[in-house]
Structure 1
Amino acid sequence: MLHFPDAGRFADWLSSNGDQAGGVWLMFAKKGSATQTIGRQDSIDAALCEGWIDGQGGTWDEQFFLVRFTPRRPRAKWSQVNRSRALELIESGEMRRRGLAQIEAAQADGRWDAAYPPSSNATLPPELQVALDTDPAAAARLAAMKRSDRYALILAIANGRRPDTRGRHVAAFLAAGRSDDE
């Protein structure tokens, strides 16, 4: 686990270690902590510039929380938020060679255009909407889900490449609800 006082130090670390490191847990100071660390958005910007991405996170203790950063994998999906931010970083001249290479690869294979929306703009996939229209209990379960869980379900269905894959995700959601009702 590492912590950096500012974006410049994290960017320097990524520049020096980004090709060799498989990932790193960054420590972020919570509000009210006496320790000064890089901000979350600044760390994401530095990571994007070097072709890295933020991932899972969690609490460390009363003073810190953690976020895992890793090099972007070759087929990793892009979010619309990170895509927009990457364009801003290019425009400002901050984007670096490794970050540009990831963007060019995503543009070449279609991942750039297929970036997924933020949870605030996510819409129900048609397959799920049809199921909910015919199953009021499933619609009620979806409405009762935590926002993050609902978004994860929507993305899992929407990101299915084939109709049968999307259908399996919908069927699994419906089946899980039926087993909960029993």
Structure 2
Amino acid sequence: MTKMHELPRVEVQSVAELRAWFEEHHTQQESIWLVTYKKNVPDKYVSIQEVLDEVLCFGWIDGRRMKLDDERTMQLLSPRKTQHWSQTYKDHVARLTAEGRMHEAGLKAVELAKATGLWDFMNDVDALIKPADLIEALEQHPPALQNYETFPDSAKRDMLRWLKLAKKPETRAKRIKEVAELAAQNKRASGTS
């Protein structure tokens, strides 16, 4: 397996270059570091949104983004495998489909996600629906429930996603306990432990 720092770097200076790269390489299985210029180099700048659009069009997924130097950033892009789809990404796909921009590879990724349940897997999280076990834990740690309700939707969504992605029941229980105990102190669980 290739280490992150050994992944190939692909530098683009326009959306057209990025789309051309995807046209030729979208079937590859190896992740890449996409190198793009920052806003301070306007003639070569490709926005995060433009990158995301092309990533979705070809059935890939965007990942970590970091500074490369004063003029450039790099972002991890990978072929989509078994990742769930957030409502934000589904909304982007709907727009890109309506605009006729989705590539066959991206449409196949959507079809596969729908067939496997990954398309709808996070619907409850995106709708900010609190699971019963979380409600119970919040109620056991006054004033956790009241505090939780005041958190921004984005923070609640992150915590709910963190709970949903727990692979083992004991991991989920530990995370729920952490969310409730921190909410009682009017603090948000980071979703990273």
Q: TM-score, normalised by structure 2?
A: 0.71
Aligned-partner Cα distance in 2 for 1:36–1:52:
23
CA RMSD of aligned residues (A): 3.5
Q: How does 1:67-78 map to 2 (within 5 A)?
A: 67-73=75-81, 75-78=82-85
Q: Relative to 1, partners in 2 of residues 1:92 and 1:39: Cα closer, same or farther, differing over 3 Å?
A: same
Identity of aligned residues (%): 24
Counterpart among 53, 56, 80 of residue 48 in structure 1: 56
Aligned-partner Cα distance in 1 for 2:12–2:124:
30
Q: Deviations over 1:75-101 (max 9, x none)?
A: 210011111111221222111111111
Aligned-partner Cα distance in 2 for 1:164–1:128:
14
Q: Relative to 1, partners in 2 of residues 1:175 and 1:133: Cα closer, same or farther, differing over 3 Å?
A: closer
Partner of 2:111: 104
Aligned-partner Cα distance in 2 for 1:98–1:69:
15
Q: Relative to 1, partners in 2 of residues 1:129 and 1:28: Cα closer, same or farther, differing over 3 Å?
A: farther
Q: Relative to 1, partners in 2 of residues 1:105 and 1:34: Cα closer, same or farther, differing over 3 Å?
A: closer
Q: Match of 1:78, as an amino acid?
A: W
1:59: Cα distance to partner?
2.1
5+ unaligned residues in a row in structure 1: which ranges? 178-182
Partner of 1:85: 92
Q: Deviations over 1:24-67 (max 9, x none)?
A: 11223333236623211111111111110111112223322221
Aligned-partner Cα distance in 1 for 2:135–2:153:
17
Q: Which has the higher mean CA deviation after the structures are superposed, 57-66 or 38-47?
A: 57-66
Q: In the comparison of the two structures, how many residue pairs are matched?
A: 176
Aligned-partner Cα distance in 2 for 1:163–1:59:
37
Q: Match of 2:161, as an amino acid?
A: L
Q: Match of 2:105, as an amino acid?
A: R
